[in-house]
Amino acid sequence: MTRQQLLDPCINIRIGAAILADADRQAACIFNTGRAGCRNGYPDKVLAAAAGMARVEQAAAPPPAPSPQPPARPACGPLPFDLFERAAHLRACAERTPDAGAEAPAAGPHNEASTEQ
C-alpha cells in the first residue's frame, strides 16, 4: 500500500472499516476468554447477533409520520393583496365564523360574492 493510495478516500475508508472490524473481533475475544486471539467462534456469534438486532430494529421502526397539513381556512373568499384590506377581511371572516369548523357565509364586505365595495 502506497501513501498515495492511502490518500484515496475509498481505499482509506475500506482499510479503516477492516481495522475497526478486527478491533471488534478482538474485543469480543478478550471479553469472552480474557485474551485477544480466540478460535471458539464467539466473535462471529456476537457479530451475527448484532447484525440480527439491527435488522429487527429496522423492521420494528414505525413508519415515518405524514407531514402535518396546514389548518383549513374558513371559506371567506380569497385574501386581498393589500395588508390593511387583508386584516379587515380576516376580521370580518372571524366575525362571520364563530368556530373554526363552521363554513362562513358566501357574501361579505371583501368577498367576491359581495355587491358592496
Instruction: Indicate if the pLDDT at residue 74 is higher than 60.
Output: no
Signed CA dihedral, 18, 23, 26, 32: sign only: negative
The domain ranges of the chain are 3-60, 72-117
d(CA 116, CA 90): 17
pLDDT digits (tens, 9 = 90+) for 9-18: 888 888 888 8
* Cell numbers that stand for 50 in this block: 448484532
- Residue 7 CA to residue 14 CA, distance in Å, equals 12
pLDDT digits (tens, 9 = 90+) for 94-103: 777 665 444 4
* Range among 27-31, 73-77, 111-115 with highest mean pLDDT value: 27-31
The pLDDT score that the predictor gives to residue 97 is: 66
The answer to whether 73 and 103 have CB atoms below 8 angstroms apart is no
Q: What is the pTM of this model?
A: 0.38
